[in-house]
Amino acid sequence: MTVHQPPGGQPLRSVSALIDAGVVAPERRASLEAVAGRYAVSVTPAMAALIDPANAADPIARQFIPDPAELVTLPQEIADPIGDEAHSPVEGVVHRYPDRALLKLVHACPVYCRFCFRREMVGPGGEALTGDRLDAALAYLAEHKEIWEVIMTGGDPLILSARRVHEIARRLAAIPHIKVARWHTRVPIVDPGRITVDYARALRVPGKASYIAIHANHPREFTDEARAALARLADAGHVLISQSVLLKGVNADVATLSALMRAFVENRVKPYYLHHPDLAPGTARFRLSLEEGQALVKSLRGHLSGLCQPTYILDIPGGAGKIPVGPAFLSACGAPGAEAFAEDRHGEQHRYPPG
């Protein structure tokens, strides 16, 4: 595979930059400019270096390189597919579940995933949550004593400076009823050089359990640099969990999904959520059916360590929340209280007695 490095090591934020770096053919310029005019484009040097432009089905390119199919919006696709806006009591806060809330600190990301469920809301130029608006968001979290966990998201909060994340961590630490602080990020994978020892320490929220959800979708994303960044976070005392999206053409096959989950576990990241793709505009090319997803997840059980098993999740459109949609291995045989059938990893059925 040919390795490409963007000039000057800067993110590729335009179609021209993608062409100059050799990851997009020049003849695609016109069609991709139309996409870039609607949805943000950014590919970090770490991800650009993994793209094989000779492979039309390259799974890294599929995640980050724009495609004309993004301009086709199906009737069932909606701008806010998981209903953030309906559950936002103040700017920057989403309070969908009683005991936890999102704190959306930024609207920008180091990379823009072509399947992003917030693609209508994120992009360059979006203001970070600062000043009076940050004060109001933190005041809401402090006033609502039922909030046990705060999840920092965006955008990607780890594009903020160490000074800024340390300040936010310090202010969260002063809210006694918050016991768990969780950062959601792609940075350790797509821009691993940002995760220095000092940065990893700055993310700690004193007196709180510290979790970091690492977003990766393909085993090739685990470069040596990414593995080192994850090690720095784990060594700093953060509990690392995973977040992936089941994507057609990227990881929707048994071998790739297995390798991805093993890569997480090898790097001290516990597989957590495997998301069914949301109904974001222009993302139909990534979606598979729930039945196909269930079959893939079922294939992991019994063939991979229990440490490697994610929870397959559907975010109900409109903001009703997440539900597990994993496959069933137990089926009833008849009336309540009757024996059941338990299916093993080979697909064979075994009777299980009632009671």
Burial of 214 (0-12, 13-18, 19+ CB in 10 A): buried
Q: For residues 140 and 248, what is the distance between their CA atoms, to the nearest angstrom? A: 39
Tell me the catalytic residues. 96-97, 100, 109, 113, 116, 118, 278, 315, 322
Contact 77, 85 (CB under 8 A): no
Structure tokens at 332: 């009833």
Instruction: Quickly count: other Cβ atoms within 10 Å of residue 219's Cβ.
Output: 19
Confirm if 212 and 203 have CB atoms less than 8 A apart.
Answer: yes
Q: Which of 100, 103, 1, 123 is nearest to 50 (CA)?
A: 1
Tokens of 228: 């080192």
Q: What spatial distance separates the first Cα and last Cα of the chain, rounded to whole Å? A: 57
**What would the DSSP string read from start to end of 122-185?**
-STTPPPS-HHHHHHHHHHHHH-TT--EEEEESS-GGGS-HHHHHHHHHHHHT-TT--EEEEEE
Angle between helices 290-300 and 254-266 (to 10 degrees): 50
Buried b (16+ CB within 10 A) or exposed e, 61-87: bbbbbbbeebeeeeeebbebbbbbeeb
Amino acid at position 219, single letter: P
Alpha carbon distance 117, 128 (integer Å) = 19
